[in-house]
Structure formats: structure tokens, C-alpha cells
Structure 1
Amino acid sequence: MTVTIDNPRAPRTLPKRRGVNWEKWGWIYMRVSGIVLVVLIFGHLFVNLMVGTGVHAIDFAFVAGKWADPFWIVWDTALLWLALIHGANGMRTLINDYARGPVFRRILTWSLLGATVVLLILGTLVIYTFEPCPVGGPAELLPTFCGVSK
């Protein structure tokens, strides 16, 4: 019996695929977002823990003062979106690797997508609608830095 082995250096012809290669773009996103997230996370930790009096200064007034600057609103929004989508993409990979059966995999993937969208919307709303001193708010519920006499 004779066995022939194909030449390993012979050019291979793969079938042409149409459409977007989502796995490739997901892989690229994970690498790029990971690098950007390292910068965003260490910047976030440095400002919140090292500047000023450290962790003891983080309270409602600290967040209100930080989000009064548009730079920190954009910074925290980018951190939220990149981290959440990065994590969801990692979970999608785990679902694809370990979920048995196409129906169960589809249910988990759509549930993950739904949870990710809801969290992105809620987190973005919190960042952009945060108002520490609402006009006409009850004085006993407002923080002391709002300048309302109780």
C-alpha cells in the first residue's frame, strides 16, 4: 500500500468567502481595545487613587467635580464602552467555544447582546445625565456642596 503526502510548500486554494470576517475583526478589536484600555484604566486609577488624598476622597462630591469637566466625561464614556464591549466579545468567544448545540448557543449569544446593550445605555445615561445639584430639588436630599440651606 502506497501513501502519498502532499507537498507542504504547494500553494493551497481555499474557497473564497463572501461578506465580512467577523471573527477577524473581533480578534483585532480585542487587541486594539486591550491596549487602549490599559491606558484608560491606569489613568483612571491614577486620578482616583493617587491624586489628592487617595481613596478616602472618592465620594459623591468627587464624582460631581470630576464629571463637571467634559474631558472626564469622554474619558469615562470611552472606558465604559471599550471595557464592556471587550468583555462581551470575550464572553461571546467562550459561548462559541463551550456552548453545546446551535439553539443554546444562539440563546446565550442573544442574551449576552441584550445585556450588553442595556448596560451600555444605562451607563451612558448615568454619565451624561448626572446632575449633582438639580434645580428645585428638596434641600434635605441635596449634597452640602450645592449651597442650599437646609
Structure 2
Amino acid sequence: MTSTIEAPRSPYSHSTKKSGVNWEKWGWIYMRVSGVVLVVLIFGHLFVNLMIGEGVSALNFAFVAGKLTNPFWMVWDVIMLWLALIHGGNGMRTLVNDYATSRISRGILKVAILVSVVSLIVLGTLVVFTFDPCPAGAPADLVASFCTSL
């Protein structure tokens, strides 16, 4: 019995090619692009937080509150949050595809990853865009010292 194995670089025959979007290819591309963008975002974040000004000793609630009042840093942090969570979720999905043996466990794990990523993205985005360091009506002893009008 003889069987022929096609050369690795030979094109697929028309009968075996699936139609539609190749999601694995786009996931692979996303991981490479988001990884490069995340390196820039994370090192920019660390540089501003640790190297500019007084360094790590300046990191406190007032510093974070001041950053989150600036629309530039709000967008920076949200982009970093979204890219990191989707990047991590896609990586976990790849691990589940590689190591989960049954179709049911693979499906359950992928749904759990999706729910976790979506929940954290929604909560993180809400925190960044609704953060108020000086809430109206809060007791004076519970708010930051820089909040003057209560």
C-alpha cells in the first residue's frame, strides 16, 4: 500500500479548502500586533509612573486621580486594558484548544474565558471613565485631602 504525501508548500486542493474567514490566522496576527503595541503602552506607562517627576515615591491616590482626569491617559489606560485582556484571553483560548481533550470541556472553558474577559473589560472601562476622586456628599474623612468643595 502506497500513499503520497504532498510537499508542505504545495497549495491546498480546492476540495479541502474551507470557505469563510480563517479565525486562527487573524488570532495569530492579532497576538503579534497587540504584543508590539502592548510593549509600547506598558513601557510608556511605567516610564511616566516611575521615571518622570519624583519616581515611585509619588505614586499615591492623588497621582492616579490626577492621571485619570486627563483624557489622554484615560484613553491610554483603556487601550492598554482592552489589548491586554483580549491578548490574554486569546492566549488562554489557544491553550484550551491545545490541551482540553473533550469538546464539552473545551466549550465550557472557552465560554468561561469569554465571560471573564468581557466582564473585566466592561468593569475596567467603567472604572476609568466614571472615576471621581471627590464624590459629592461623601464624608470629609473618607475623601482625599485635595478635595476642597464638599
- Please give the TM-score of this superposition, normalised by the length of structure 2: 0.90
* 1:89-104 map, 5 Å: 89-104=90-105
Q: Which is greater in Rg?
A: 1
Contact 1:139 1:148 in 2 (8 A): no
Q: Which residue of 2 aligns with 1:113?
A: 114
Structure 2: how far apart are the matches of 1:139 and 1:82?
A: 37
Cα offsets for 1:12-40 (capped at 9, x unmatched): 52423122111011001001101110110
Structure 2: how far apart are the matches of 1:129 and 1:4?
A: 64
Structure 2: how far apart are the matches of 1:121 and 1:10?
A: 45
Aligned partner of 1:56: which letter? S
Q: Which residue of 1 aligns with 2:69?
A: 68
Secondary structure (helix, strand or coil) at the match of 2:111 reads helix
CA RMSD of the aligned region, Å?
Answer: 2.0
Secondary structure (helix, strand or coil) at the match of 1:64 reads helix
Structure 2: how far apart are the matches of 1:55 and 1:113?
A: 35
Confirm whether residue 19 of structure 1 aligns to residue 20 of structure 2: yes
CA distance 1:11–1:51, change in 2 (3 Å): closer
Long gaps (5+) in structure 1: none
Secondary structure (helix, strand or coil) at the match of 1:51 reads coil
Q: Which residue of 2 aligns with 1:136?
A: 137
Deviant stretches of 4+, over 2 Å: 3-12
Cα offsets for 1:51-74 (capped at 9, x unmatched): 111111111100111111100000
Alignment length (residue pairs): 148
- Using the aligned pairs only, state the percent identity: 62
Structure 1 position 84, deviation (Å)? 0.5
- Please give the TM-score of this superposition, normalised by the length of structure 1: 0.90
